Structures are given as C-alpha cells and as structure tokens.
Structure 1
Amino acid sequence: MDCVKIGKLIASMRKEMGLTQKNIADALGIQNKTVSKWECGLGCPDLSLWPELSAILGVDMKQMMEGEITQNRPDSGNIDKARFYVCPTCGNILVSTGSASIFCCGRKLERIIPVDTQIKPKITVEEMDTDYFVTFDHPMTKEHYISFAAYVKSDRVFLNRLYPEQSPACRFPIVSGGKLYVYCIKHGLSIYTGVM
C-alpha cells in the first residue's frame, strides 16, 4: 500500500465531503491526530477501519486502498446501450447507460450479458388504451421466474419488477421502436426488437 497516495485521496475526499479531520475521527472512534497522520502519508488506516472509512467518504474500498479513483468515461447519452445488473444477495435491479462500477451488498456487480435467442420466453403484446400489455409464457415459481422486464426507447427506460407466483405480465407506455429486455433468474437476459 502506498500510504502517501492513500493519504492524499483521504484528504481530497474528506474536503470534497465538507468534513474535518475531527469529523472523520469521531465517526471512527479514533483521535484526529491519527487522521492527520494518514493524510500526511505517515501511516495507513488499520484494516478494521477501512469498511467504515470508505462508507463515510463514499468511496469504493478497493479503489481507496489503491490510493486512486478510476473515473468512468463520460456517459455518451445513448440509452440504447443500457446495461442491467442484478444483485445476487438482495435482488436489487440496477441500470446504467454506459460503463460503470456498480456495487450492492458490498459486492461489485457484473453487467448481465444477453443470452442465446433459443431460450427466450414467448411473449404476447397487445395495445390497451395508452399502454402495451405484455404477457410472458413463462413459469413464475420461486425457483424459476422473470425478475424484470424493461422497455428501452429514446431517452427512457421503463422498468417493471416481477415477483414469483405473480402473473407474468406487465404494461409499458406506447412508444414504438424500442427494445424489450426480459430477465429470467434461471436463463438470463433476453432482448426483443421490433415487437412493440
């Protein structure tokens, strides 16, 4: 570990958050002289303090231990490049419109890659009032169900969360020409184009 790089990062993140060395020390239950030593590069935080320190500063612990934060490239604004992430621990569904470092439940999540088209659930799309009503020919048991369906078009992502033992159906506003993403917990992510 490079204590000088880590100290500079702690100091810059602390200032960015509008915190004093005393604020950090009080939150961690240590003396503010200790935080000052870190920032001067005269030592690194004790291993037991890293998780709480990273939470206080709002920085990924791994990147903080390396002493530098890796910046993502700016979002190009192309919603067609939407990426989906599902936390294996709590089931949270997260979306980004470009490359991102996504974390949930203390784990870095990997983007869900679309699967082979042969295992796509069969869908039926009907227009009802101002919505598309989409039904899926798919089981909805606790062991095998569709977790979410998302409709991506222009500058919008319409996301519907589905649950086991629920009807495999959802609604999306009528906006033609988008892509439909469907995520089965057993078979992965499928993409449909030209269906709505």
Structure 2
Amino acid sequence: MNQYVTGDVIKEMRKQKHMTQLQLADHLGVTDKTVSKWENGKGYPDIALLEPIADAFQISVTELISGNRIKNENVSANMLRSKFYVCPICGNAVHAMGDAVIQCHGVQLLPEEAENSDENHMIFIERIEDEYYVRIDHEMTKLHYISFIAATSTDSIQMVKLYPEGNAEAHFKVSGIKKIFFYCNKDGLFSIDVVKGIDDREKSYDDTQERRELEKTADMLFSRN
C-alpha cells in the first residue's frame, strides 16, 4: 500500500476544519471507520482520493502531501503552475499546484509535460450557454484512449475522468477557463488554449449536411411549381 499522506496529517487538517470523521467520510464517499483507520495508521487513502481530501480541507494536494499550508502565496499563481501526475500502472491521475512527491504502486510519478494538440489528437471546443462542450477526435478502445480532460482557470480546475469504450468528451462550466488539458494513455499529456480550440472548430466545421438539407428543400419547392 502506498503512503502519500500520513494519518497524522489527515487528523490535524480535519481538526483544523472542525470536521468530524463522519463529516469527512460523507464528503469522500467512504465510511467513518475508513477515516479512523487512516488516522490510526492502519491504512492509507487511495491516490484517487487525494484531490477530494484536499478539497474537503480547502488546500492543495501539495499542501496535503507535505502537511504544511502554503502561506503568503497567490492562489492564482499556484494554479498557473498546475502539474499533472499519472500512474503508468493503474492510470490514476493527480493534479498538484507545483512540484510534489507522489508515488503509486511503488513508482514515483514525474510531472507530465504537456504538448500542443496535434492531428492525431484533435480537440474541438464549443461554448453552449454557460458551459464549454469539449470533444476529442480519438479512439476509445481498451488499449488506446483518453483517460481524462481537465479545464483550468487562474484560480480553479475542473477534471473529468474518462473510460475506455466511452466518449472522449466533457462539459465544463465556463468560469474563466483559460486552458484545456487531456491525457492519452499512449502519447501523454496535451493542452490547448480555449480560444484556439474554438477557432480550430470553426475553421474545420463541416456544413455538408446543412447544404444537403437546403438543396433538398429547394428541390421540393421547385418541383411543386
């Protein structure tokens, strides 16, 4: 079992937030007995729970792992230094505001370096009212798929986990989103500015079907005369 955060840290942070074990458990979707085991050193939370735990304490994953709150630092600046860590064995992904020491399945994870999206990883972004609809033109087989899509602003992040044989798409609240990240299990992390993603979609928009419908309607009208 991998130790990312000690039970003492969880207990201390929980008490600082004046939360009971049951309240923390309800937030995480586990039992209070599970939280008690963590705090007593009889087990450790799964890596996938690091972000929810940090969210419950209103701190970053980096702060949770180190056990120290980051003081006198601008939160926006931290978010702009966001980094993603992905386990090559189980595929779990963790987001941290800056460098962090994270292990999974005995492997120390290194931060992923994002590349610009390319022709093999085309991403299309469309704004629909107060949401961005994000779609990636990519296969979703058990061997080759997109494992998550994340949207970052200067002070927040939204992350959607994807699964093989599902759809490579997600919806995000606009909320000042500046950049979209997504992870291919074979080719790694990619990113694109939201504005560029919208522009690319408009340039590649195929209106063939619309034109066919208009032509069909015109034929029907003229055939009646």
Stretches of structure 2 that go unaligned for 5 or more consecutive residues are 1-5, 12-40, 45-65, 199-225
**2:180 maps to what in 1?**
180
Hey, what does 2:191 align to over in structure 1? 191
CA contact (8 A) 1:119 1:187 kept: no
Rate the CA distance shift 1:74–1:119 in 2: closer, same or farther, 3 A. Answer: farther
Aligned-partner residue type, residue 126 of structure 1: E
Report what 2:209 is aligned to: none
Give a deviation string over 1:76-97, Cα, whole Å, max 9, x none.
Answer: 4320111001112222110100
The structure with the greater share of residues assigned to helix is 2
Q: Deviations over 1:55-110 (max 9, x none)?
A: 6698xxxxxxxxxxx99995843201110011122221101001110122232111
Q: How many residue pairs end up in the alignment?
A: 137
Corresponding position of 1:128 = 128
One-letter amino acid of the structure 2 residue matched with residue 151 of structure 1: A
On the 8 A contact 1:17/1:57 being kept in 2, the answer is no
Give the distance between the partners of 2:182 and 2:7, measured in 1 at CA. 41
Query: Which deviates more, 124-133 or 158-167?
Result: 124-133
Alignment of 1:18-29 (within 5 A): none
Measured in 1, the distance between the counterparts of 2:157 and 2:136 equals 19
2:114 match: secondary structure: coil
* Structure 2 partner of 1:111: 111
CA–CA distance in 2 between the matches of 1:73 and 1:15? 15
What SS class does the counterpart of residue 165 from structure 2 fall into?
A: coil
Give structure 1 stretches of 5+ with no counterpart. 1-12, 19-54, 59-69
By how many angstroms is 1:182 displaced?
A: 1.1
Query: Residue in 2 aligned with 1:67?
Result: none
Percent identity of equivalent pairs: 31
Pairing 1:1-196 to 2, within 5 Å after superposition: 74=70, 76=73, 77=75, 78=77, 79-115=79-115, 117-118=117-118, 121-193=121-193, 194=195, 195=197
Give the structure-2-normalised TM-score.
0.52
Q: Which amino acid aligns with 2:121?
A: P
- TM norm structure 1: 0.59
Deviation string 1:128-152 (CA, Å, 9 cap, x unpaired) is 2321111111111111111111101
The more displaced of 73-82 and 143-152 is 73-82
Cα 1:14–1:101 shift into 2, 3 Å: closer
CA shift, 1:15, in A, is 9.3
Give yes or no for contact 1:120–1:190 (8 Å, CA) kept in 2: no
Aligned Cα root-mean-square deviation (Å): 3.2
Asked if the contact 1:115–1:189 (Cα under 8 Å) also holds between the matched residues in 2, the reply is yes
Determine if contact 2:116/2:191 at 8 Å carries over to the other structure. no
**Alpha-carbon distance in structure 2 between the residues aligned to 1:117 and 1:92:** 21
